[in-house]
Amino acid sequence: MRRAFIFFCFSVVVFCFASQAHAIEINDPWSSSSSEKNLCDIWNIILNDGFAGTSQDLFEAYGVGTGSESDDWQWFETNGGITMEIRYAGYGQSFGYQAADGTQTMLFENITAGWHDDTETFQTPEGTTFAWFERWNSPAGTGYWYSDTTLNRDGNDHFVAFEVPVALFPEDYPTDEKHRLFMLAFEDLSMGDRDYNDLVVLVNAVAPAPVPEPATMILLGIGLVGLAGLRRRYIK
């Protein structure tokens, strides 16, 4: 029993450290004369909003996963069909989602650089949770970045998500939980500029899948240890 309790305490400590927040840093273009739009500019253009501040300010205001990056990687359908809008791309790429079993579904292929207004409606199998992915194309080859950082070959977080206030679209998105609207954004081949403006997508009728809180895991662990102790006493 004592060994089991020590092992449990060690596991809880490891879990808590593994669950610590990973601060997201979002930069605006290095130069004010740059023709490249920053993420806040893109937000204001596609949403007809007037948010004032930097892209980092925007993330602090509306970003999903500001407490922990694990809060934004896994998603699920909420209303019997997902509407996806490709709005901006920095270079040629494709976009889709990957289920927990590794099955990939491509939603948009051969997205060209520039502004877009392409819409796709799809439905995931009941009970499916998934990670978004961006498949990038470059002269150096092809690869994937995922909303799930653990799937990225470089171990970096190439994905951020923002919850869009549905009040900006009172006619299109009723103010209920089933019609939550998000802006998804990916970072490109390198993490050098961290501008997260290389693929921007709007998506509704989805939500981030809940991640077990450390306190919940601790209570569960205590319960399991207690049951193990009762079983041992019963056997004796």
Q: Which residues are paired to 201 by β-bridges? A: 86, 184
8 A C-beta contact, residue 19 and residue 70: yes
Helices (H), 48-159: 55-62
pLDDT at site 177: 60
* Residues of the chain predicted below pLDDT 70: 1-22, 30-35, 170, 172-177, 211-236
pLDDT at site 188: 82
The secondary element (H helix, E strand) that includes residue 127 is: none
In degrees, rounded to 5, the angle at the alpha carbon of residue 35 between the alpha carbons of residues 90 and 107 is: 15
Alpha carbon distances (Å) from 180 to 6, 40, 57, 120, 184? 43, 20, 21, 17, 13
Which distant-in-sequence residues (6+ apart) come within 8 Å of 197 by Cβ? 36, 37, 38, 39, 42, 88, 90, 185
CA 171/CA 64 separation, integer angstroms: 24
pLDDT at site 90: 85
CA 222/CA 236 separation, integer angstroms: 21
